[in-house]
Amino acid sequence: MNAAARKAAAAARLPAAVLVVVAVGAFLISYNLLAIVLRGGGGAVAGAGRERDPVVAMPGWMRAAGSAGGGRRRPFHVALTATDAAYSRWQCRVMYYWYKRMQARPEGADMGGFTRVLHSGKPDALMGEIPTFVVDPLPAGKDHGYVVLNRPWAFVQWLEKAKIEEEYILMAEPDHIFVRPLPNLARDDPAAFPFFYITPSEHESVLRKYYPKERGPVTNIDPIGNSPVIIKKTQLEKIAPTWMNISIQMKEDQETDKAFGWVLEMYAYAVASALHGVQHILRKDFMIQPPFDTKLGNTFIIHFTYGCDYTLKGVLTYGKIGEWRFDKRAYQDRPPPRNLTLPPPGVPESVVTLVKMVNEATANLPGWDDGR
């Protein structure tokens, strides 16, 4: 069943009272949390003496091209959440480098503006290099040591304060590298990548705490996270507060936290979307994840979340440190060095391409060796 049909079926089963309860509950919880945090003046650039202009502009050439083309273009705004830690900074620099390279190609016409949504609460050294919007982290202790719990809260703040010209938003992550210009894959329904490890049907008893039976089967919950997702801004504005609230509720529920672990926030986004009757076009070609995906094929993004470990004969040794390796986690406190050693013969093209693209970015980014 396609996304539109599934959405219509879900809507038909939805009692109006449930919608009202969900909407009011989401608003009240979001408002209270916003009030707690924003008393500290979140959204301003620390030390600047004034609030930062929260306008995230579409490039002028893109606006002109859209007018000339009779409105056929459907640009999306790229937004990724990040911290000011060295680990996040170097990934953001590489990601932004390749965003600019792909946007500059003729096929990159749908790739609009870019914002790094920095949820550390204060500016960092990349403010002049990457377009950045500073938001507050969750109140102390509220993330329970699970830093990605700040992601939905960051989007709530950004959507509330920023003026985003594009109709669509791509939610991306620092460990994404664009390997081809990305068109707008969304239509009325958003587009998302299906993750093999997001399996709602295997966790029905847990998910019913957040997605009641009257809403329909748990298969209405898409097997996705929030990234990569291309979605209409109006849809995300409705989903984000619910996503934030459910993320916090899940983290504070021992059974749910144990069941979902590090992908808890991904499940929360999928549930929040389903509660709002939003279902996604599932695009397996959205991205690949080396070393398990070995070919580039027609993909648009490399997601380098997994370590890549190989023998010198090109044999994968996943779970065991290889004679040759590339793992982003080896560079928690500093960026990787320039000119990383290329993989040995026999290593698949996805990994070879990843390392070559990291090397090209680091060779061209100023001050790389300084670790900024």
Q: Report if residue 175 sits inside a domain.
A: yes
Residue pLDDT, tens place only, 66-110: 443 344 689 999 999 999 999 999 999 999 999 999 999 999 999
Residue pLDDT, tens place only, 187-203: 999 999 999 999 999 99
Its domain, for residue 125, covers: 73-282
Closest Cα to residue 146, out of 38, 262, 32, 31?
A: 262
44-53, 75-84, 325-334: the lowest-pLDDT one: 44-53
Q: How far apart are the first and last CA of the chain?
A: 48
372 contact partners, CB below 8 Å, separation of at least 6: 89, 125, 126
Q: Which of residues 48 and 192 earns the better pLDDT score?
A: 192
Q: Report if residue 322 sits inside a domain.
A: no
Q: Report if residue 332 sits inside a domain.
A: no
Closest Cα to residue 124, out of 10, 45, 25?
A: 45
Helix residue ranges, H only, the chain: 3-12, 16-38, 60-68, 86-103, 150-161, 204-207, 233-252, 254-260, 264-275, 349-364
Q: Report if residue 5 sits inside a domain.
A: no
Q: Report if residue 171 sits inside a domain.
A: yes
Query: Is residue 52 a contact partner of residue 132, using CB atoms and an 8 Å limit?
Result: no
Q: What is the CATH number of the domain that holds 184?
A: 3.90.550.10
Torsion angles phi and psi, residue 36, rounded to 5: -60, -45
Q: Report if residue 180 sits inside a domain.
A: yes
19 contact partners, CB below 8 Å, separation of at least 6: none
Q: Report if residue 226 sits inside a domain.
A: yes
Q: Report if residue 227 sits inside a domain.
A: yes
Give the total number of structural domains in the chain: 1
Q: Which pLDDT belongs to residue 56?
A: 59
Candidate ranges 1-10, 38-47, 335-344; pick with highest mean pLDDT: 335-344
| 122 token code pair | 């204060």
- Rounded Cα distance between 372 and 369, Å, is 8
